[in-house]
Amino acid sequence: MNAIEIRNVTKRYGKLVALDRVTFSVEEGTVFGLIGPDGAGKTTLHQILTTLLAPDEGTAAVAGLDVARDFRKLRTQIGYMPERFSLYPDLTVSENLHFFASLFGVDVKDNFDLIAPIFSQLSRFPDRMAGALSGGMKQKLALSCALIHRPKVLFLDEPTTGVDAVSRSEFWDMLPALKERGITILVSTSYMDEAERCERIALINKGKILDADTPERLVEGLGGNLYSASCGDMYPLLEALRRYPGVNDCYTFGAALHLVADEGFNPDEAARKLEQSGLAEVRIRPAKGNIEDLFIKLAKNDG
């Protein structure tokens, strides 16, 4: 059974189309990633699935309940952690947790087993104001608050934005344990490198779903003609490669350049020719593509 079922969901803000016929489904008990840059429509989709917004067209169902028709019942089944960790900064850690528990009419004690591994570090200072916590701690408290009523589906909207690298990694380590408990997780992120930590992902750009599958299969679809290029002077290299015959695309990728080429592209020959044209120490090697390469390719095809 699918925990989330989205069919042709469209949402417009005036002339701007925030979501354009979005369709995908999330299997029960999986960690599903929604990957896309800022402004792609991730938050809007989250708000529709958590019953905060109604879609203009199309239907969406979460845990078997329609988001528009059965929103009242649905609200007891879902946990939501918005983009910024929305907590009350002037309430203490324990006051925040108890308040959110009371909203759902549950007792913190009854469901504490679920959040215990996440909350363990926080339980050392229950009387600290939430506003005085570090980013990583705030994130853990917000996750605890979103889980305290034992939801069936958990929505995490950019949970790792504005958090240090260690906390980011720790956060992803927490999700499998929740999955084990049968909680379906839809998590959105703009960090492409986090895609590999999801079982399945959907790539979203400008309100459209570009593709959805497991990260491995998606990367396989890239093909083998991806090369990494570097040189002492990067910008002239980028210019030269873009003009080079047989090169379909070239873009900066971290400290190097990535280029997508035709079948018959010979990297050694290209490097030699470029060095002859005045560039120093040109190196072009086959590279293993990742989600970011795929995203750039798909977004380009989409126009």
- Report the residue from 13, 27, 37, 90 that binds another protein according to the rule CB under 8 A: 90
Q: Does 83 bind another protein (CB under 8 A)?
A: yes
Q: What is the 3-state secondary structure (H, E, C) of the chain?
A: CEEEEEEEEEEEECCEEEEEEEEEEEECCCEEEEECCCCCCHHHHHHHHCCCCCCCEEEEEECCEECCCCHHHHCCCEEEECCCCCCCCCCEHHHHHHHHHHHCCCCHHHHHHHHHHHHCCHHHCCCCEHHHCCHHHHHHHHHHHHHCCCCCEEEEECCCCCCCHHHHHHHHHHHHHHHHCCCEEEEEECCHHHHHHCCEEEEEECCEEEEEECHHHHHHCCCCCEEEEECCCHHHHHHHHHHCCCEEEEEEECCEEEEEECCCCCHHHHHHHHHHCCCCCCEEEECCCCHHHHHHHHHHHHC
Return the range that interacts with another protein (CB under 8 A); candidates 70-78, 110-118, 215-223, 294-302. Answer: 70-78
Of 63, 67, 78, 259, the one binding another protein by CB under 8 A: 78
> Of residues 72, 109, 124, 243, which one binds another protein by CB under 8 A?
72
Nearer CB in complex with another protein: 48/237: 48
* 93-103 helix and 135-147 helix, angle to the nearest 10 degrees: 30
186: contact with another protein by CB under 8 A? no
Q: Of the two residues 68 and 222, which places its CB atom closer to another protein in the complex?
A: 68
Query: Would you count residue 88 as binding another protein (CB under 8 A)?
Result: yes
Residue 84 vs 288, nearer CB to another protein: 84
Judged by CB under 8 A, does residue 89 bind another protein? yes
Per CB under 8 A, which region of 6-14, 82-90, 179-187, 214-222 contacts another protein? 82-90
- Pick from 51, 139, 184, 290 the residue near another protein by CB under 8 A: 51
> Taking the complex as a whole, how short is the minimal distance between the CB of residue 159 and another protein, in angstroms?
13
- Residues 6 or more apart whose CB falls under 8 angstroms from that of 232 comprise 279, 280, 281
Q: Judged by CB under 8 A, which stretch of 87-95, 218-226, 228-236, 283-291 contacts another protein? A: 87-95
User: Between residues 77 and 205, which has the closer beta carbon with respect to another protein?
Assistant: 77
Decide: is 69 part of the binding site for another protein (CB under 8 A): no
Supply 31's token pair.
């960690």
Q: How far is the CB of 259 from another protein (least distance, A)?
A: 41
Does 99 engage in binding with another protein (CB under 8 A)? yes
| CB closer to another protein out of 54 and 177 | 54
Q: Are 48 and 41 in contact (CB under 8 A)?
A: no
* Contact pattern for another protein over residues 117 through 146, marking x by CB under 8 A: ----------------------------x-
- Which position among 54, 132, 177, 280 is part of the footprint of another protein (CB under 8 A)? 54
Give Cα 53 to chain centroid, integer Å.
20
Where on the chain is the footprint of another protein (CB under 8 A)? 47, 50-54, 72, 75-76, 78, 80, 82-84, 86-91, 95, 98-100, 102-105, 145
